[in-house]
Amino acid sequence: ENHILTGLALHGKTCLITAGPTYEPIDPVRFIGNHSSGKMGFEIAKAMVNQGAKVILVSGPSHETIDSKYVERIDVMSAAQMFDTVKKRFASCDIAIAAAAVADYTPVHVADQKIKKKKENLVLELKKTTDILKYMGDHKKSQFVVGFALETQNELANAKEKLARKNADFMVLNSLNDKGAGFKKETNKITIIHNNGDLNEFELKSKSAVANDIVHQIIQRTA
């Protein structure tokens, strides 16, 4: 036990964070993925540790690294693997943050051999993945649950609908409208929508500064 840390706001708390993209297998050599870098989730993990928390970081494929004895990193590939890990760990956490860009759909069949290019047109059948954030919202006891919303239209209305549907405590709305925000960028412009009706709008800033803002909102709501 590091006694220097015992005075920090989140000392003694365990935080589960999902991060990165997921890769949904098509055959042994192919997948459906997305451009999430994982940076936001990793920055939140660092900010959580800086406030004294222990972190379980469940990450899809990402080049991000984190070096802290307070972070247990669990690497996964697919949405199903991410969900399995979250299901095992969620009950033992105090705070959960869904920062991953989870695939919404996954192939119904995974070919056991490499698909050969025989057909002129190929149709892949996809099925919905489990909504991991909604699972956490629906199963929370004392946990504080945070989600993200990425919208390209009706931002606020859509984010509020997600907050309610997923039973989160607050949602972080990522604005794509501003130059310099979003995937593969170093900055984000966020609005936090709380389930108590509060709304906090933040300036465009670095992802590490955004992570600090998010963590401070969690500290205020859970104090």
User: Token digits for 26?
Assistant: 């098509």
Q: Nearest-CA neighbor of 59 among 107, 16, 26?
A: 16
Q: Is 42 assigned a ligand-binding role in the annotation?
A: no
133 binds ligand CTP (CB under 6 A): yes
164-203 mask for ligand CTP (x: CB under 6 A)? ----------------------------------------
- For residues 208 and 187, is the Cβ–Cβ distance under 8 A? no
What contacts 24+ positions apart, CB below 8 Å, involve 47-50? 47/208, 47/211, 47/212, 47/214, 47/215, 48/10, 48/15, 48/17, 48/95, 48/215, 50/8, 50/215
Residues that bind Ca ion (CB under 5 A): 104
100 binds ligand CTP (CB under 6 A): yes
Note if 2 is an active site residue. Answer: no
Q: Which stretch binds ligand CTP (CB under 6 A): 60-68, 114-122, 126-134, 210-218?
A: 126-134
d(CA 81, CA 99): 16
Question: In the complex with ligand CTP, which residue's Cβ is closer, 58 or 66?
Answer: 58
160 binds ligand CTP, rule: CB under 6 A? no
Among 47, 48, 149, 192, which residue sits at the site for ligand CTP (rule: CB under 6 A)? Answer: 149
133 binds, among ligand CTP, Ca ion, none (CB under 5 to 8 A by kind): ligand CTP
CA distance 71 to 181: 27
Catalytic residue IDs: 34
